[in-house]
């Protein structure tokens, strides 16, 4: 899929009204345009991004998914994620527009508090995933929680 095996590559396809993939948040280190409707974005190990995939047919939406993925180092264990090569640490995965919209609202709330979404604690995305799977309300990600995460991260090797 991509040229550099040290990077995680995400293939995005855009066919207006039929098949639309996009990155909700993330900071790619490289991008390669393959055609008018297809491109590859690449991420370094540890980077977090949100991949949205939507598709429809003559009868309406047939797929609506959102995956929040952390890129992994070459040779590390990872989950298989469609359109992500070689895969990644899957932090959150939701299917169906109501759940995708709910995660969008949670993302918007974090962003509104001034926190860079790419720097949110990976555990928080897992927390949202697990709470939604249990049909419970996730905790808010506050600036205080974020500060605690940044301090904990600074202590990690």
pLDDT at 133: 96
pLDDT at 77: 87
CB 68 within 8 A of CB 91: yes
pLDDT at 18: 87
Give pLDDT tens digits for 87-113.
999 999 999 999 999 999 999 999 999
CA distance 2 to 5: 7
Task: Please determine, for residue 2, whether its predicted confidence score (pLDDT) is greater than 60.
Answer: no
Please state, rounded to an integer, the average pLDDT across all residues of the chain: 93
SS3 111: helix
pTM: 0.91
Give pLDDT tens digits for 34-73.
999 999 999 999 999 999 999 988 887 789 999 999 999 8
């Amino acid at each position: 899929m991509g040229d550099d095996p040290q990077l995680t590559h995400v293939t995005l396809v855009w066919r207006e009204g039929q098949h639309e993939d996009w990155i909700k948040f993330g900071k790619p280190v490289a991008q390669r345009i393959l055609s008018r409707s297809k491109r590859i974005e690449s991420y370094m190990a540890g980077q977090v991004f949100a991949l949205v995939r939507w598709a429809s047919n003559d009868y309406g939406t047939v797929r609506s998914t959102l995956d929040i993925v952390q890129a992994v180092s070459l040779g590390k264990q990872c989950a298989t994620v469609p359109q992500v090569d070689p895969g990644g640490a899957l932090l959150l995965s939701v299917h169906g527009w109501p759940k995708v919209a709910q995660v969008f609202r949670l993302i918007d709330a974090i962003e509104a508090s001034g926190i860079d979404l790419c720097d949110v604690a990976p555990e928080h995305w897992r927390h949202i995933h697990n709470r939604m799977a249990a049909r419970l309300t996730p905790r808010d990600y506050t600036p205080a929680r974020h500060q605690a995460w940044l301090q904990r991260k600074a202590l990690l090797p």
